[in-house]
């Protein structure tokens, strides 16, 4: 499915604005602070940020990456998340068109973005996101054409069950926790959207990418095998890959086996 340039531009602007809100969620949810009130402020001088200094991407460029008042540097993370969310909004527009299916998939992706950066920063995946996300995304199955409500339930059970089994076996063998409960709940939430086939693809893709990144990181680090790497971002990446390319990749892989 394709879309026109004006629609893609509007999708990017919309996505970047949502990305600005995601930055708030990423910063405030782990701190158990309201994501609605108060408004955004500089983390250094605590000055409230005016609306004209809070325009996604544009304000960062105009201010040259510094607070207007105290001149403290603004983390590059903020415009990056806005840009990333904008690009993924365009990807949803191109892949699914201006449809409810596309909007719901974008909402799902936005949730994965928040989970990814919180996990990178704090090594946690908040229950306040995943536990409500399971029933919310289950309801998606009644509104999107690619999954039935039964497939969604099976996806939830397979998603949570697979990682729970891996975590239980690892703990039984080593006596240590190798995977947090947040990953289990995250994959259950993802299963509500993608079904069991999407879960298997996600686990495979996340494990493959995670292994490569993990080995490269351990080689550069002095901690070696003791290095803890969050798995949530890799699960999120695997899920996003499945949404856009999963069917094509699975067909290509089956063709290779013939």
pLDDT in tens, the chain (258 residues): 556 888 999 999 999 999 999 999 999 999 988 998 888 888 888 888 888 889 999 999 999 989 888 988 989 999 999 999 999 999 999 999 999 999 999 999 999 999 999 999 999 999 999 999 999 999 998 988 888 999 999 999 999 888 777 767 766 677 666 566 888 899 999 999 999 999 999 999 998 998 888 888 877 766 555 566 788 999 999 999 999 998 888 888 777 777
82 closest CA partner among 153, 165, 13: 13
Q: Is the dihedral of CA 214, 234, 162, 168 positive or negative?
A: positive
Res 52: pLDDT? 86
35 closest CA partner among 122, 130, 114: 114
DSSP E strand stretches across 8-125: none
Using alpha carbons only, give the angle 135, 246, 236 rounded to the nearest 5 degrees: 50
DSSP-assigned letter for residue 149: H
160 closest CA partner among 138, 139, 142: 138
SS3 67: coil
Give the other-Cβ count within 10 Å of 171's Cβ. Answer: 13
CA 211, CA 234: separation in Å to the nearest integer? 10
In the numeric block, which tokens belong to residue 130? 């995943």
Summarize pLDDT for 67-123 with one digit per residue, the tens: 888 988 989 999 999 999 999 999 999 999 999 999 999 999 999 999 999 999 999
Res 223: pLDDT? 59
Bridge partner residues of 48 (DSSP): 41
DSSP-assigned letter for residue 40: -
Residues with Cβ < 8 Å from 34, sequence gap 6 or more?
28
Res 151: pLDDT? 94
CA 1, CA 242: separation in Å to the nearest integer? 16
């Amino acid at each position: 499915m394709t879309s026109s340039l004006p629609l893609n531009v509007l999708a990017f602007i919309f996505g970047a604005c949502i990305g600005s809100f995601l930055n708030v969620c990423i910063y405030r949810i782990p701190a158990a602070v309201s994501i609605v009130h108060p408004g955004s402020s500089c983390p250094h001088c605590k000055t409230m940020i005016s609306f004209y200094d809070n325009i996604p991407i544009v304000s960062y460029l105009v201010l040259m990456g510094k607070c207007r008042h105290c001149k403290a540097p603004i983390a590059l993370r903020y415009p990056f998340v806005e840009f990333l969310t904008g690009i993924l909004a365009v990807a949803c527009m191109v892949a699914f068109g201006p449809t409810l299916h596309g909007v719901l998939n974008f909402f799902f992706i936005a949730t994965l973005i928040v989970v990814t950066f919180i996990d990178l920063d704090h090594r946690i995946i908040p229950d306040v996101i995943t536990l409500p996300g399971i029933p919310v995304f289950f309801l998606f199955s009644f509104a999107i054409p690619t999954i039935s409500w039964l497939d969604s339930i099976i996806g939830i059970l397979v998603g949570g069950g697979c990682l729970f089994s891996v975590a239980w076996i690892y703990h039984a063998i080593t006596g240590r926790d190798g995977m947090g409960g947040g990953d289990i709940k995250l994959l259950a939430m993802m299963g509500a959207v993608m079904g069991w086939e999407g879960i298997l693809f996600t686990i495979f893709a996340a494990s493959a990418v995670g292994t490569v990144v993990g080995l490269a990181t351990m080689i550069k680090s002095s901690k070696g095998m003791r290095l803890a790497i969050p798995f949530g971002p890799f699960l999120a990446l695997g899920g996003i890959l499945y949404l856009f390319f999963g069917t094509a990749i699975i067909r290509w892989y089956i063709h290779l086996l013939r």
